Amino acid sequence: MRIPLPQAPPPARLPRGRRLRAAAVLTLVLALALTLGAQATAAPGDRTGTDRTRGYEVRGVGSAAQRSALAMQGGVAIDAVHGHSVTITADPATARKLEGLGYLLEELPAGRPSAAAADGAASALSTPSEYHSYSQTMAAVNALVSRHPGLMSSRVIGTSYQGRPIVAVKVSDNVGTDENEPEILFTHNMHAREHLTTEMALYLLDEFATEYGRDARLTRLLDTREVWIIPSVNPDGKVYDQDSGVFRSWRKNRQPNSGSRYIGTDINRNFAYRWGCCGGSSGSTSSATYRGSGPESAPETRVVTDFVRSRVAGGRQQVAAHIDFHSYSELILWPYGYTYSDTAPGLDQDARNAYAAVGQEMAASNGYRPQQSSDLYVTDGTINDWMWGSQGIWSYTFEMYPRSSSAGGFYPPGSVIDRETARNREAVLILMDHADCMYEAIGKPALCSS
């Protein structure tokens, strides 16, 4: 998006982050007022012991089964996989529990100072100004929509536990009309600390706005597709993790749990497909992967699922394809997560092959590693499994930069935002291209009409 400067020659195109901020100034006051009202309803019990989390490297877990056992026994989220070790985030009590179970843990230095010196990685003690806060994100979205009303529209599709709006932005040539076109959904910031994914949403919106009518391929896709972008699925968690100026390494939402001092549900273990089935989530409220009291018990989960269900028209789901953006590890993942099997009920060999073919094509464009989700470790109640198993939507997870914790983990430096969001441009367009018939990727287009 170009920001005009009166009484001056046309400026050089600003870096994307600065352009978004300049546009956001026009609407930031309104967004702040809205956000402050939501913040007034902050959940009780913020002084939870789970804030004292640390990063650990766990050695001797080289197989998917070993990683699944670690996640299940310890109730931990595996942040990254490195050959025969993994990186996890855990509080000291959980770390002691794992050591008691025989796991070999090494606590990682806070902020990885050696890596910060080499790569400019963000300190764990401060939040880089280049990352948009929730209020700044909403202001940037409002500015883009107001500048491109013929291409973009936004709607509040629900609210978080603490009352913050969860917004979906529609992008298409005839944005005010529900056309008979394949829809593609992009979800972001489901886990609070994964702020690079919100920047990915803003990048896509800005790229669509700037390049529509200029880039022939992108224009064709927006003329024949309807795109939906949810920049922050977990606004309460984002605010809690970011707005104090000190990153808290928070993952879950901010919903209290009855009878427990521990706060939060892992939204990406709370979906109503194979929920809690297979050791891929935790029933303990203290766990980073706590699956909630029941499927869709987190209001943020229900907002997403209600929105997706609302896209059914004439008995047909209009959303054809989906990417859920996460960080980190540089991976492209596809269903199922709940089973090690390549095929399972609802996922036959042709579907699996189509998933792999498109996944590999996207990975060739961004350098990520493509694989079935359970090749890492078993997860259940995830958005990918629900999208495919319940709605028949082709659904991928992108785990964004960096590849390892040594380059910043969940908090890479703001200087990489433009590079790492643009890195996924081609992959996004590839999925949009395939959305009308994913089976064409394996030479079986007839399956799209069956």
Q: What is the DSSP string of 164-193?
A: -EEEEEEE-SSTTS--SS-EEEEEE-SSTT
Residue 219, CA atoms < 13 Å, CB-side half-sphere: 7
Assess contact for 439 and 355: CB atoms under 8 A.
no
- Compute the distance between CA of residue 75 and CA of residue 290 in angstroms, rounded to an integer: 8
pLDDT at 19: 60
In angstroms, rounded to a whole number, what is the distance separating the alpha carbons of residues 195 and 78?
18
pLDDT of residue 15: 58
pLDDT for position 55: 87
pTM equals 0.87
Structure tokens at 110: 């806070």
pLDDT of residue 83: 87
Spatial contact of 175 and 153, defined as CB atoms under 8 Å apart: yes
In angstroms and rounded to an integer, the radius of gyration of the C-alpha atoms of the chain is 21
Provide the pLDDT for residue 449: 86
> According to the CATH classification, is domain 134-449 in 1.10.3720.10?
no
Where is 400: in which H helix or E strand?
Answer: strand 394-400
Burial classification of residue 360, based on how many CB atoms lie within 10 Å of its CB (0-12 exposed, 13-18 middle, 19 or more buried): middle
Task: Report, as ranges of residue numbers, the positions in the chain whose pLDDT lies below 50.
Answer: 1-14, 25-51, 112-125
The Cβ of residue 217 has, within 10 Å, a number of other Cβ atoms equal to: 12
Give the closest residue to 179 by CA, choosing from 225, 230, 229, 219. 225
130 has catalytic annotation: no
**CB of 233 within 8 A of CB of 323?**
no
3-state secondary structure of 75: coil
Q: Choose, from 199, 226, 361, 399, the residue flagged as catalytic.
A: 399
Report pLDDT for 317.
Answer: 98
Whether residue 336 has a cis bond before it, omega within 30° of 0: yes
CB contact at 8 A, 158 and 230: no
